[in-house]
Amino acid sequence: MIKNRVGIGFGTWAWGNKFVWGYKAETDDILLKKTFSDAIEGGLDLVDTADSYGTGKLFGQSETLIGDFLEEFPITKLKKITIATKLAPFPWRIGRNGLKQAFKESNKRLKGNLKRVQLHWSTYRYAPWQEEQLINGLGDLYEDGFIEEIGLSNTGPKRLNFLYQKLKERGIKIKSIQMQFSLLTKPSLADEKIKNVCNENNIEYLAYSPLALGILTVPVNKSPKTSTFIRNQLFRKLLPKTSELRALLGNIGKKYSASQAQVALNWVRSHGAKPIVGIRNPSQAKDAIAALNWTLTKKEKESLDLYREHCPINMPTNPFISP
């Protein structure tokens, strides 16, 4: 059995990327609570969110809801899971203490359960002088005992190496890095370099959007309507050119009585990554948990690798990724 498990992402995007937290009625709140509880009880041991999930008056709403849900878990259960958030390096969060207040607010929303803080993206492309300051600020929080772990997100191999060495000089370890990774992300040398750095330094590789915004879950000859204009445009563009890949996912799934989502998640795990899957109802939580009960064969993994390499279309690259 592959050791790396599955985490859950709770944010403001639709499932396949991040969890939809905008709810309008008490019944929705109950559904979200049950979904969260089922996921944790089923063995999903990492909860990933961000302070920027929720805009305007709903800023931090994802963290607030998670904090409320965590209050009902016993301490013994809380010790077995990792609550992680990503702090956004907004332009007004300046200097070594730029994320200090943001951390305090996130930890308050999460009811003191925040274990890992991740820099949401590198500022190298637009404010390179800020990057070292911010990572040193997270190092200060670690040394002062406020957080147990530090992680990165959307950081290329050069900046990963740089930031890793900066913290290493202080005797601090980078625990994880979070990158977009799925059967529909374009294979790249940079991604392989990141994985090599992770393997050499025991850094956990977390894969967000492992289901490509849900595209990999769509059966062949199906064209579902999505909740937003942008997602509809993306589905119309990608679905026609991914039918062969999705057909293969379906065929492999039949062997294990598993969904396409389970196959796609296990492909991510077969590459040594931990998928952060968005869920919005108990059935999706159950599906993600079921993916832990089996693994792809070497032949199945290689066949999916081949389809990925020759896939005529890919997911858009995140513009925040640094070199």
Is 320 a member of any domain?
A: no
Structural domain including 128 reads 7-310
Q: Domains in the chain: how many in total?
A: 1
- Report which of residues 246 and 226 the model is more confident about: 246
C-beta separation of 154 from 207 below 8 A: no
Q: Is residue 79 part of a domain?
A: yes
Decide if 302 is inside a domain: yes
Asked if the structure places residue 98 within a domain, the reply is yes
Q: What is the pTM of this model?
A: 0.91
Question: Rounded mean pLDDT of 123-132?
Answer: 94
DSSP string computed for 147-168: -SEEEEES--HHHHHHHHHHHH
H or E segment to which residue 231 belongs:
helix 229-238
pLDDT greater than 80 at residue 12? no
Residue 202 lies in a domain: yes
Q: Are 191 and 179 in contact (CB under 8 A)?
A: yes
Q: Comparing 53-57, 119-123, 196-200, which segment has the lowest mean pLDDT?
A: 53-57
Is residue 190 assigned to a domain? Answer: yes
Are 201 and 193 spatial neighbours (Cβ–Cβ below 8 Å)? no
Any idea what the CATH number is for the domain that residue 96 is in? Answer: 3.20.20.100
Cα–Cα distances in angstroms (integers) from residue 23 to residues 63, 97, 171, in the given order: 14, 34, 43
Residue 56's pLDDT band (cuts 50, 70, 90): low
Cα dihedral 123, 127, 128, 130 sign:
negative
Model pLDDT for residues 155-184, shown as the tens digit of each residue = 999 999 999 999 999 999 999 999 999 999
> Is it the case that residue 18 has pLDDT exceeding 70?
no
Residues designated catalytic: 53
Cβ neighbors of 103 (< 8 A, separation 6 or more) are: 87, 114, 117, 141, 146, 147
Is 298 contained in some domain? yes
The answer as to whether 322 is a domain residue is no
CA distance 175 to 118: 9
pLDDT in tens, 186-223: 999 999 999 999 999 999 999 999 999 999 999 998 87
